[in-house]
Structures are given as C-alpha cells and as structure tokens.
Amino acid sequence: GQNIDQPTEMTATEGAIVQINCTYQTSGFNGLFWYQQHAGEAPTFLSYNVLDGLEEKGRFSSFLSRSKGYSYLLLKELQMKDSASYLCAVRDGARNFNKFYFGSGTKLNVKP
C-alpha cells in the first residue's frame, strides 16, 4: 500500500524558520508536491521535487531524497499568514502517472 507520513501539528514563532518533514513509501514515484491549505480553502501548489536536492522558491524551499523516501518543506521568515496546513503528496509512477497520494497534512501555527 501507499504510506505518507507527516507530523500532525507544529508551532513556530513569527520570523523564525520551520521545517516540515514528510516520509513516504509508495509503489511508484514520479514527483513529490507540497501544497498549502488555509482553513476552509482549497489546497494551493507550493513546490515540486522529482530529483534529489533542494528547490528554492522565495521564502519556501523543498528538499527530496528518493533513496530515503524523505522530503521536507522549509519555511523561512515566518509570517502570521503562513498559519495553514501543509500537505505532502506523491505522484505515482509510469502506469499511474496522474495519480497522487496525500499525507494527512501538518497544521502549522505561527505565533507572534
């Protein structure tokens, strides 16, 4: 089966840095996605990794290690508006290229 694990909840302070981890075990792999979801809203795309290494995008960075089945999302210079759930999603391999598996999400609380 498919298994994607993330911490349930994290708390960090405004201006700080936070790292949200995701580990996965899936039958196929063709990319890992991070989405942000504010309460009562739809998930929105944040980042994508398909090769090992770090992808940087402004205050957000995402890292992938395929051999370890591990990714993290790094948020720098935290702002109050970053309080949201962060979803890790894995896209399946060739035969199910457009199938995505989601973790349960990590609720991030940013405090002043």
Q: Which is nearer to other proteins, 69 or 105 (CB)?
A: 105
Distance set, CA 15 to CA 18, 67, 76, 110, 111 (Å): 10, 32, 7, 9, 10
If the CB atoms of residues 70 and 102 are measured against other proteins, the closer one turns out to be: 102
CA distance readout (Å), 108 to 11, 30, 42:
6, 27, 16
How far apart are CB 8 and other proteins at their closest, in Å?
8
Q: Which residues here bind other proteins, judged by CB under 8 A?
A: 4, 8, 31, 33, 40-45, 48, 50, 87, 89, 91, 96-100, 102-105, 107
